[in-house]
Amino acid sequence: MSAKSNSSISEKTIKLNELVAWFDSEDFELEAALDKFAAAEKLAAEIEADLVTMKNNISVVKKKFNEAE
């Protein structure tokens, strides 16, 4: 997981989906769009970093498993 947040990837994805949906909603305000976009961009980067970490951990476990055979 990212050191920046203790939220799970699923929780972050839900929040990102909510931010993206805001852009298509009736609540959309141009003045707030930049802040919402920046928040969505940061969240997407956190999710990507979490997924890379998870992929690396899986690779390590897979390597250990293959060596044990």
Q: Please give the pLDDT value at position 67.
A: 87
Note whether residue 46 is domain-resident. yes
In this prediction, residue 68 has a pLDDT band, given cuts at 50, 70 and 90, of confident
Instruction: Say if 2 falls within a structural domain.
Output: no
Q: pLDDT value at position 3? A: 43
**Residues 1-57 pLDDT 10s:** 334 457 899 999 999 999 999 999 999 999 999 999 999 999 999 999 999 999 999
3-state SS track over the chain: CCCCCCCCHHHHHHHHHHHHHHHHCCCCCHHHHHHHHHHHHHHHHHHHHHHHHHHHHHHHHHHHHHHHC
Quick check: is 17 in a domain? yes
pLDDT score of 16: 97
Per the structure, the complete domain to which residue 24 belongs is given by 9-68
Count up the domains in the chain and report the number. 1
Residue 27 within any structural domain of the chain: yes
Domain membership flag for residue 21: yes
Q: Is residue 1 part of a domain?
A: no
